[in-house]
């Protein structure tokens, strides 16, 4: 009787050891596969947001300059709550989505050369130096403006994100104004020519938006 019990326990222990060994091996494989995928994503810079650039006093001072189309109501609100943007809070919320939209450069330094991180930070810094007001404009407005520019004149008439990188002032216009500018160009030159000018002629879309604003000054 004791011999049968001992054999049963021995068999059970052997079975448990086999199960544990199989689980460890498979978990190790899964973990290695997960780590491999994570390393691949990191090396490719997928959805990787670079560290924010330093917000120095000159940049913050420049950000306070009002844009011509900003209303007195917006100005009053911004002055009442300066800390909501001067500490970088608003921009910190805006930048991850801008990275996903390919407006801001992605950090491709993980698993690669560190110079990519410096390049990404420099690209963001250059964009902010051109339009420092982006530090204090509402995140939702900036994102919607970026999407409006990329949508162009429709599903088959889109504009590239490179346009926003080269002309970041477009991010500061409200979406309504961007649609107005695109419509103004389209009515003046036709849809195909409007897209070509917006894409290939520096400042063409910004100028069209400003012309549309002047045309509609009494209702804006």
Following DSSP, what letter does each residue of 11-64 receive, concatenated? HHHHHHHHHHHHHHHHHHHHHHHHHHHHHHHHHHTTTPPPPPPP--HHHHHHHT
At 111-150, the pLDDT tens digits run 445 555 566 678 888 999 999 999 999 999 999 999 999 9
The span from the CA of 93 to the CA of 113, in Å, is 27
The span from the CA of 24 to the CA of 20, in Å, is 6
Residue 9 burial by Cβ neighbours in a 10 Å radius (0-12, 13-18, 19+): exposed
At 164-218, the pLDDT tens digits run 999 999 999 999 999 999 999 999 999 999 999 999 999 999 999 999 999 998 8
Q: Which residue has the higher pLDDT, 70 or 201?
A: 201
The span from the CA of 46 to the CA of 110, in Å, is 10
The span from the CA of 198 to the CA of 160, in Å, is 10
The span from the CA of 39 to the CA of 112, in Å, is 10
Across the range 62-66, mean pLDDT stands at 93
Residue 214 burial by Cβ neighbours in a 10 Å radius (0-12, 13-18, 19+): exposed
Please state, for a pLDDT cut of 70, what percent of the chain lies above it: 64
Tokens of 41: 């994503």
pLDDT of 55 reads 82
Average pLDDT, the chain: 76
Say if residues 43 and 106 touch (Cβ distance below 8 Å).
no
Tokens of 68: 């011509």
Q: Which residue has the higher pLDDT, 151 or 11?
A: 151
pTM of the model: 0.71
The span from the CA of 95 to the CA of 172, in Å, is 14
Tokens of 178: 């961007």
């Amino acid at each position: 009787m004791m011999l049968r019990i001992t054999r049963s326990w021995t068999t059970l222990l052997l079975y448990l050891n086999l199960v544990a060994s199989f689980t460890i091996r498979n978990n190790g494989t899964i973990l290695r596969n997960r780590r491999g995928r994570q390393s691949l994503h990191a090396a490719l810079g997928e959805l990787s947001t670079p560290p924010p650039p330093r917000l120095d006093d000159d940049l913050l001072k420049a950000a306070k300059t009002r844009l011509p189309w900003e209303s007195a109501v917006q100005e009053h609100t911004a002055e009442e709550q300066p800390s909501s943007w001067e500490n970088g809070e608003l921009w910190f919320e805006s930048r991850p989505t801008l990275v996903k939209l390919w407006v801001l450069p992605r950090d491709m330094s993980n698993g690669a050369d560190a110079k990519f991180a410096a390049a990404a930070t420099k690209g963001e810094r250059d964009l902010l130096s051109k339009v420092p007001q982006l530090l204090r404009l509402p995140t939702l407005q900036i994102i919607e403006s970026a999407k409006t520019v990329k949508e162009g004149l429709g599903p088959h008439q889109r504009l590239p994100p490179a346009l926003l990188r080269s002309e970041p002032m477009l991010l500061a216009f409200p979406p309504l104004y961007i649609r107005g500018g695109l419509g103004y160009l389209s009515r003046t030159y036709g849809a195909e020519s409007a897209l070509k000018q917006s894409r290939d002629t520096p400042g063409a879309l910004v100028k069209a938006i400003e012309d549309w604003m002047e045309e509609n000054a009494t209702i804006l």
